[in-house]
A and B are shown apart, each in its own frame.
Chain A
Amino acid sequence: MKKEDILQQDFYNILSTKIKTISARYLALKLVELKVKEIVSIDKVKELNYIIISDSKKYDINLHSLDLPDLQIQEI
């Protein structure tokens, strides 16, 4: 699958969790940068904190309380 298509797919997966659009957009970009090919699951731990399991790795995501293109992403 092309990088652009992965990005679109990730973006829509993230949006389905009700993460706001600008944050979702940025998170999808970051995941593509990290070479994520597929999101397997997105679990909400607490407000603004999510665990994303991808095809190969697991990430701890901390979003901003404002809908900004910024977040903290850590491989766990």
Chain B
Amino acid sequence: MELNTPKIDSLRLLIPFNEVEVNQNHKEFLREITTINEDGEVINTKKNNTYRLHSNPCSCHYLYGQTIIQGKNVEVLKLGFSSKTLKTKYFDGINASNVDEIHKFILSENVIAVSKQTLLNARIVDTDICYDTLLKDSNVIDVISHAHKLSKPLKDTKVNAFKERKTNVGIEWSDRNKVGKAYKSKQYLKYYAKALELKNHSSKFYEKYLINNDSIIPYIQDNKLLRVETTIKNGAHWKTYNLKVQTFKDLLNLDLSKHLEIYHRPIAHYMDGQETILPTRTTFTLGEKKDLKLIELYVKLYKIKEYEAIDKLARDIEPTSKQNRYRYVKKLIKLTQINRVEKIIKKDEKQLNIIDELEKLKLIPKNMQ
């Protein structure tokens, strides 16, 4: 089990379609599926461009599509797979030593035939890099609550503390499906309780491949095993870290443990441990208290997020002067940050259980019980 080092969790390969042999006898993929009614009338016919064997959690995702590569429209097979294809070696992550195993698995699905060399030369997109760690003195809920409170109120970035009570807890920044070209400023980042997620959301896989694995089970601790996950969208995104990673082979040759900046940049972007604290500040002035109260009221009144309330408040108070509005927004953001730190300081230092703590921090609404 690989702990405390970045590893590849999942990715998608863009394989030129002419380098793939599709199984012509496959019952679904790239076959025309016809719907008929009880009288035998044809209702509609459609070609299945996508396939995944949903009954098998290890199954790859196959999608026929077109993409633009170097200005040309190219037919491709988008092949998505995760480290679940490695079954009992799930926690090793995808690496150069198990790529043969992955290749064999792809062939065993009997959807396509593809050479290992073609896989290695394929372009990669949406690479999920994960980092599993067994927390030291802290625990998952502590990490999540601190991360939540130290999160900057960024205008265009959603911070989402998971709400699936008891079965999946975590926090994520940005939306992995809506990053678009803003991959540098909105790089997806997620912290979550991996053991809880496995047991409840991938229970079939967990029970089949992990539960009897004595080398893994000691690490599957609900409130201790934290996974930190980020997504690198494409080659241009890798380039922002001064790395040339275009193909699967490039990725496998990369020593991720030497590139922790792929985590540190989004962490520093979404969270702020430094600016939230002013050395001499412990109280707020009357004006600042009014501003904080106003933000709180706007959030309640308009049922909006804190950063939206700040924006609205600034627009209401400074409708004309863009410069003054900018200064006011900056001031309000700083105030809310200090206010959060004040709350952390006053936080009950006693260890609470995972659910009570989430409720206390309002990460889980009471009505979800």
A binding-site residues for B, Cβ under 8 Å:
2-5, 7-9, 11-12, 15, 20-26, 29-30, 33, 62, 64-73
Contact B138 A66 (CB under 8 A): no
Which residues of chain A are near B254, meaning CB under 8 Å?
Answer: none
Whether B294 is near chain A, meaning CB under 8 Å from some CB there, is no
Which residues of chain B are near A64, meaning CB under 8 Å?
Answer: 4, 133, 136
Q: Which of A3, A22, A23, A71 has the most CB of B within 10 A?
A: A22
Whether B28 is near chain A, meaning CB under 8 Å from some CB there, is no
Whether B271 is near chain A, meaning CB under 8 Å from some CB there, is yes
Contact A22 B150 (CB under 8 A): yes
- List, sorted by A's number, 6 A–B pairs whose CB atoms are closer than 8 Å: A2-B282, A8-B279, A23-B273, A64-B133, A65-B260, A69-B146
Distance of A59 from chain B, by nearest CB (Å) = 12
Which residues of chain B are near A4, meaning CB under 8 Å?
Answer: 282, 342, 345
Contact among B133, B228, B277 with A11 in the assembled complex (CB-CB below 8 Å): B277
Which residues of chain B are near A5, meaning CB under 8 Å?
Answer: 279, 282
Distance of B208 from chain A, by nearest CB (Å) = 30
Contact with A along B257-298 (1 / 0, CB 8 A): 000100110011001111001111010000000000000000
Distance of B48 from chain A, by nearest CB (Å) = 41
User: In the complex, how many residues of chain B place their beta carbon closer than 8 angstroms to a beta carbon of chain A?
Assistant: 32
Which residues of chain A are near B228, meaning CB under 8 Å?
Answer: 66, 68
Whether B126 is near chain A, meaning CB under 8 Å from some CB there, is no
Whether B304 is near chain A, meaning CB under 8 Å from some CB there, is no
Interface contacts beyond A68-B226, A70-B226: sample of 20 additional A-B pairs, CB < 8 Å, sorted by A = A3-B345, A4-B282, A7-B345, A12-B279, A22-B147, A22-B271, A25-B146, A25-B273, A25-B274, A29-B344, A30-B137, A65-B4, A65-B260, A66-B260, A66-B263, A68-B133, A70-B135, A70-B136, A71-B137, A71-B138
Distance of A24 from chain B, by nearest CB (Å) = 6
B binding-site residues for A, Cβ under 8 Å:
4, 131, 133, 135-138, 142-143, 146-147, 150, 226, 228, 260, 263-264, 267-268, 271-274, 277-280, 282, 342, 344-345, 349
Contact among B136, B146, B267, B277 with A8 in the assembled complex (CB-CB below 8 Å): B277
Distance of B265 from chain A, by nearest CB (Å) = 10
Expressed in whole angstroms, the Cα–Cα distance for A24 and B277 within the complex equals 12
Contact A33 B137 (CB under 8 A): no
Contact B4 A21 (CB under 8 A): no
Expressed in whole angstroms, the Cα–Cα distance for A7 and B277 within the complex equals 10
Contact B147 A69 (CB under 8 A): yes
Which residues of chain B are near A68, meaning CB under 8 Å?
Answer: 133, 138, 143, 226, 228
Q: Given A21-B273, A66-B264 in contact, is the A72-B137 Cβ separation under 8 Å?
A: yes
